[in-house]
Amino acid sequence: MKEDVRSLLEGVQKGSVSVEEAILRIKTKPFEDIGYAKVDMHRKLRQGVAEVIYGAGKTAKQISGIVDVMLQNGQDTILITRLSKESADIISEVHSLEYFSEARCAVIGKFPVVDGLGTIVIATGGTSDVPVAEEAAVTAEILGNKVVRLYDVGVAGLHRTLAHMDDIMNANVIIAIAGMEGALASVIGGLSDCPVIAVPTSVGYGASFHGLSALLSMLNSCASGVSVVNIDNGFGAGYLASMINHPKRQEKK
Protein backbone atom coordinates (compact mmCIF):
# COMPACT_ATOMS: atom_id res chain seq x y z
CA MET A 1 0.00 0.00 0.00
CA LYS A 2 1.37 3.37 -0.94
CA GLU A 3 2.25 6.02 1.61
CA ASP A 4 -0.60 8.39 0.69
CA VAL A 5 -3.23 5.67 1.05
CA ARG A 6 -1.75 4.57 4.37
CA SER A 7 -1.78 8.16 5.65
CA LEU A 8 -5.38 8.57 4.52
CA LEU A 9 -6.52 5.42 6.33
CA GLU A 10 -4.54 6.34 9.44
CA GLY A 11 -6.28 9.72 9.36
CA VAL A 12 -9.66 7.96 9.34
CA GLN A 13 -8.52 5.77 12.23
CA LYS A 14 -7.39 8.77 14.28
CA GLY A 15 -10.48 10.78 13.41
CA SER A 16 -8.63 13.58 11.62
CA VAL A 17 -10.23 12.57 8.30
CA SER A 18 -13.90 11.73 7.99
CA VAL A 19 -15.06 8.54 6.30
CA GLU A 20 -16.92 10.61 3.72
CA GLU A 21 -13.81 12.66 2.88
CA ALA A 22 -11.71 9.50 2.53
CA ILE A 23 -14.27 7.91 0.21
CA LEU A 24 -14.37 11.07 -1.90
CA ARG A 25 -10.59 11.13 -2.27
CA ILE A 26 -10.38 7.46 -3.19
CA LYS A 27 -13.27 7.76 -5.67
CA THR A 28 -11.59 10.59 -7.55
CA LYS A 29 -11.35 9.50 -11.16
CA PRO A 30 -8.02 7.84 -11.93
CA PHE A 31 -7.25 9.97 -14.98
CA GLU A 32 -8.31 13.17 -16.68
CA ASP A 33 -8.97 12.95 -20.41
CA ILE A 34 -8.09 16.25 -22.08
CA GLY A 35 -8.22 14.98 -25.65
CA TYR A 36 -4.54 14.82 -26.57
CA ALA A 37 -3.54 13.29 -23.21
CA LYS A 38 -4.96 11.18 -20.41
CA VAL A 39 -3.36 12.58 -17.28
CA ASP A 40 -2.80 9.85 -14.67
CA MET A 41 -4.07 11.20 -11.35
CA HIS A 42 -3.58 7.94 -9.39
CA ARG A 43 0.08 7.45 -10.31
CA LYS A 44 1.25 8.56 -6.87
CA LEU A 45 -1.20 6.22 -5.14
CA ARG A 46 0.04 3.27 -7.20
CA GLN A 47 3.75 4.01 -7.40
CA GLY A 48 4.53 6.55 -4.70
CA VAL A 49 5.59 9.23 -7.21
CA ALA A 50 3.27 11.41 -9.27
CA GLU A 51 3.33 11.42 -13.07
CA VAL A 52 6.28 13.11 -14.76
CA ILE A 53 5.75 14.96 -18.05
CA TYR A 54 7.95 13.88 -20.97
CA GLY A 55 8.34 17.08 -22.94
CA ALA A 56 9.86 15.86 -26.22
CA GLY A 57 7.31 15.71 -29.02
CA LYS A 58 4.74 17.81 -27.14
CA THR A 59 3.95 21.43 -27.89
CA ALA A 60 4.27 24.05 -25.18
CA LYS A 61 0.50 24.48 -25.26
CA GLN A 62 -0.06 20.75 -24.68
CA ILE A 63 2.39 20.69 -21.79
CA SER A 64 0.73 23.73 -20.22
CA GLY A 65 -2.63 21.97 -20.46
CA ILE A 66 -1.28 18.88 -18.71
CA VAL A 67 0.28 21.07 -16.00
CA ASP A 68 -3.09 22.81 -15.48
CA VAL A 69 -4.80 19.49 -14.82
CA MET A 70 -2.08 18.28 -12.47
CA LEU A 71 -2.15 21.48 -10.43
CA GLN A 72 -5.94 21.43 -10.26
CA ASN A 73 -5.74 17.91 -8.84
CA GLY A 74 -3.37 18.80 -6.03
CA GLN A 75 0.06 18.05 -7.45
CA ASP A 76 2.17 20.96 -6.25
CA THR A 77 5.55 19.82 -7.62
CA ILE A 78 5.86 18.83 -11.28
CA LEU A 79 8.88 17.60 -13.23
CA ILE A 80 9.06 18.06 -17.00
CA THR A 81 11.88 16.22 -18.80
CA ARG A 82 13.37 16.67 -22.28
CA LEU A 83 12.03 20.20 -22.51
CA SER A 84 13.52 22.69 -24.95
CA LYS A 85 14.40 26.21 -23.83
CA GLU A 86 11.94 27.62 -26.37
CA SER A 87 9.05 25.60 -24.94
CA ALA A 88 10.12 26.44 -21.38
CA ASP A 89 10.00 30.17 -22.20
CA ILE A 90 6.46 29.84 -23.58
CA ILE A 91 5.24 27.78 -20.61
CA SER A 92 6.83 30.25 -18.16
CA GLU A 93 4.41 32.90 -19.42
CA VAL A 94 1.60 30.88 -17.82
CA HIS A 95 3.29 28.85 -15.06
CA SER A 96 6.19 29.79 -12.82
CA LEU A 97 8.98 27.28 -13.43
CA GLU A 98 12.69 26.75 -12.94
CA TYR A 99 14.50 25.61 -16.07
CA PHE A 100 17.69 23.54 -15.93
CA SER A 101 19.31 23.99 -19.33
CA GLU A 102 21.96 21.26 -19.07
CA ALA A 103 19.40 18.72 -17.86
CA ARG A 104 16.76 19.93 -20.34
CA CYS A 105 14.30 19.73 -17.45
CA ALA A 106 11.91 22.12 -15.77
CA VAL A 107 10.44 22.04 -12.29
CA ILE A 108 7.17 23.67 -11.28
CA GLY A 109 6.89 24.07 -7.50
CA LYS A 110 9.42 23.55 -4.74
CA PHE A 111 12.00 20.81 -4.32
CA PRO A 112 11.06 18.59 -1.37
CA VAL A 113 12.98 18.15 1.86
CA VAL A 114 15.70 15.51 1.49
CA ASP A 115 14.40 12.28 3.03
CA GLY A 116 16.45 9.59 1.31
CA LEU A 117 18.38 7.04 3.34
CA GLY A 118 21.79 8.11 2.05
CA THR A 119 23.60 9.83 -0.79
CA ILE A 120 23.24 9.21 -4.52
CA VAL A 121 26.56 9.71 -6.29
CA ILE A 122 26.40 10.53 -9.99
CA ALA A 123 29.66 9.99 -11.87
CA THR A 124 30.40 10.67 -15.53
CA GLY A 125 33.18 9.47 -17.79
CA GLY A 126 33.55 12.88 -19.40
CA THR A 127 32.13 16.37 -19.58
CA SER A 128 30.16 15.40 -22.70
CA ASP A 129 28.07 13.06 -20.51
CA VAL A 130 26.97 15.89 -18.20
CA PRO A 131 23.57 16.58 -19.86
CA VAL A 132 22.45 13.00 -19.14
CA ALA A 133 23.95 13.22 -15.66
CA GLU A 134 22.08 16.44 -14.91
CA GLU A 135 18.80 14.86 -15.99
CA ALA A 136 19.50 12.07 -13.49
CA ALA A 137 20.52 14.56 -10.80
CA VAL A 138 17.47 16.81 -11.14
CA THR A 139 15.22 13.75 -11.15
CA ALA A 140 16.82 12.37 -7.99
CA GLU A 141 16.67 15.74 -6.24
CA ILE A 142 13.01 16.34 -7.08
CA LEU A 143 12.32 12.94 -5.47
CA GLY A 144 13.94 13.96 -2.19
CA ASN A 145 17.53 12.75 -2.46
CA LYS A 146 20.92 14.20 -1.63
CA VAL A 147 23.07 14.09 -4.76
CA VAL A 148 26.86 14.30 -5.10
CA ARG A 149 28.18 15.00 -8.60
CA LEU A 150 31.51 13.54 -9.76
CA TYR A 151 31.97 14.73 -13.32
CA ASP A 152 34.78 13.89 -15.75
CA VAL A 153 36.22 10.99 -13.75
CA GLY A 154 36.53 8.51 -16.62
CA VAL A 155 38.92 5.60 -16.92
CA ALA A 156 41.18 7.41 -19.42
CA GLY A 157 42.62 8.95 -16.25
CA LEU A 158 41.86 6.44 -13.50
CA HIS A 159 43.53 8.62 -10.87
CA ARG A 160 40.57 11.02 -11.25
CA THR A 161 38.20 8.26 -10.15
CA LEU A 162 40.42 7.11 -7.27
CA ALA A 163 40.64 10.69 -5.96
CA HIS A 164 36.96 10.38 -4.97
CA MET A 165 37.06 7.08 -3.10
CA ASP A 166 35.44 8.62 0.00
CA ASP A 167 32.37 9.66 -1.99
CA ILE A 168 32.25 6.32 -3.79
CA MET A 169 32.52 4.24 -0.61
CA ASN A 170 30.01 6.36 1.31
CA ALA A 171 27.32 6.31 -1.41
CA ASN A 172 24.06 4.45 -0.98
CA VAL A 173 23.57 4.27 -4.76
CA ILE A 174 25.88 5.23 -7.61
CA ILE A 175 24.85 6.22 -11.12
CA ALA A 176 27.74 5.68 -13.56
CA ILE A 177 27.28 7.51 -16.85
CA ALA A 178 29.60 7.04 -19.81
CA GLY A 179 29.77 6.85 -23.58
CA MET A 180 32.62 5.53 -25.75
CA GLU A 181 33.29 1.98 -24.47
CA GLY A 182 31.33 2.51 -21.21
CA ALA A 183 34.04 1.12 -18.93
CA LEU A 184 33.32 3.49 -16.03
CA ALA A 185 30.43 1.37 -14.73
CA SER A 186 32.61 -1.73 -14.36
CA VAL A 187 35.39 0.20 -12.62
CA ILE A 188 33.03 1.85 -10.14
CA GLY A 189 31.17 -1.43 -9.67
CA GLY A 190 34.45 -3.04 -8.67
CA LEU A 191 35.28 -0.29 -6.17
CA SER A 192 31.94 0.25 -4.42
CA ASP A 193 29.78 -1.74 -2.01
CA CYS A 194 26.39 -0.40 -3.15
CA PRO A 195 24.12 -0.82 -6.19
CA VAL A 196 25.47 0.79 -9.37
CA ILE A 197 23.13 1.98 -12.10
CA ALA A 198 24.92 2.22 -15.43
CA VAL A 199 23.77 4.70 -18.07
CA PRO A 200 25.29 4.39 -21.55
CA THR A 201 25.35 7.64 -23.50
CA SER A 202 25.39 8.33 -27.22
CA VAL A 203 28.75 10.09 -26.87
CA GLY A 204 31.55 8.66 -29.02
CA TYR A 205 32.98 8.17 -32.48
CA GLY A 206 31.49 6.08 -35.30
CA ALA A 207 32.02 2.58 -33.89
CA SER A 208 30.29 3.56 -30.66
CA PHE A 209 27.06 3.31 -32.70
CA HIS A 210 25.37 6.18 -30.84
CA GLY A 211 25.69 4.45 -27.47
CA LEU A 212 25.15 0.84 -28.46
CA SER A 213 28.79 -0.04 -27.78
CA ALA A 214 28.60 1.39 -24.25
CA LEU A 215 25.26 -0.33 -23.67
CA LEU A 216 26.65 -3.75 -24.60
CA SER A 217 29.77 -3.17 -22.48
CA MET A 218 27.69 -2.27 -19.46
CA LEU A 219 25.36 -5.23 -19.95
CA ASN A 220 28.44 -7.49 -20.03
CA SER A 221 30.05 -5.94 -16.96
CA CYS A 222 31.97 -8.43 -14.81
CA ALA A 223 31.36 -6.29 -11.70
CA SER A 224 28.57 -7.58 -9.47
CA GLY A 225 25.66 -5.31 -8.57
CA VAL A 226 25.59 -3.31 -11.80
CA SER A 227 22.23 -2.74 -13.50
CA VAL A 228 21.76 -0.92 -16.80
CA VAL A 229 19.14 1.49 -18.15
CA ASN A 230 18.61 2.62 -21.72
CA ILE A 231 20.93 4.87 -23.73
CA ASP A 232 20.85 8.50 -22.48
CA ASN A 233 18.12 7.61 -19.95
CA GLY A 234 19.17 9.89 -17.10
CA PHE A 235 15.60 10.15 -15.87
CA GLY A 236 15.22 6.38 -15.55
CA ALA A 237 18.49 6.13 -13.63
CA GLY A 238 17.59 8.94 -11.24
CA TYR A 239 14.15 7.45 -10.61
CA LEU A 240 15.52 3.96 -9.92
CA ALA A 241 18.26 5.33 -7.66
CA SER A 242 15.60 7.17 -5.65
CA MET A 243 13.60 3.95 -5.20
CA ILE A 244 16.72 2.22 -3.85
CA ASN A 245 17.43 5.19 -1.60
CA HIS A 246 13.90 5.16 -0.11
CA PRO A 247 13.44 1.64 1.31
CA LYS A 248 10.69 2.78 3.69
CA ARG A 249 8.52 3.75 0.74
CA GLN A 250 8.89 0.24 -0.61
CA GLU A 251 8.09 -1.34 2.77
CA LYS A 252 4.74 0.51 2.87
CA LYS A 253 3.38 -1.08 -0.27
- Reported as a single tens digit per residue, the pLDDT across 119-130 is 999 999 999 999
pLDDT score for 14? 81
Task: Quote the DSSP letter at residue 184.
Answer: H
The answer on pLDDT for 132 being more than 90 is yes
The answer on pLDDT for 253 being more than 70 is no
The answer on pLDDT for 218 being more than 60 is yes
pLDDT score for 47? 67
Are 227 and 124 part of one and the same domain? yes
Are 176 and 89 part of one and the same domain? no
Average pLDDT rounded to a whole number, residues 50-70: 90
pLDDT score for 223? 92
pLDDT 10s digits, 185-199 = 999 999 999 999 999
Are 129 and 244 part of one and the same domain? yes
Considering only residues 251 and 42, tell me which one the structure prediction assigns the higher pLDDT. 42
Are 101 and 137 part of one and the same domain? no
pLDDT score for 12? 79
Task: Look up residue 42 and give its amino acid.
Answer: H
Are 69 and 131 part of one and the same domain? no
pLDDT score for 1? 38
Are 241 and 124 part of one and the same domain? yes
Domain final residue, candidates 64, 85, 110: 110
Question: What percent of the chain is helix, strand and coil (3-state, nearest 5)?
Answer: 45, 15, 35
Per-chain mean pLDDT for the chain: 88
Give percent of the chain above pLDDT 70. 88
Q: How far is CA 102 from CA 89, 129, 131, 153, 176, in A?
A: 15, 10, 5, 18, 18
Are 158 and 193 part of one and the same domain? yes
Lowest mean pLDDT among 24-38, 40-54, 81-95, 128-142: 24-38
Mapped onto helix, strand or coil, the DSSP state of residue 2 is coil
Domain final residue, candidates 76, 110, 144: 110
Measured CA to CA, the distance from residue 78 to residue 58 in angstroms comes to 16
The answer on pLDDT for 168 being more than 50 is yes
pLDDT score for 23? 66
The answer on pLDDT for 65 being more than 60 is yes
Residue 123 — φ and ψ, nearest 5°?
-115, 140
The contacts of residue 193 (CB under 8 Å, 6+ apart) are 169
Considering only residues 18 and 217, tell me which one the structure prediction assigns the higher pLDDT. 217
**Angle (nearest 5°) at CA 191 between 215 and 143:** 65
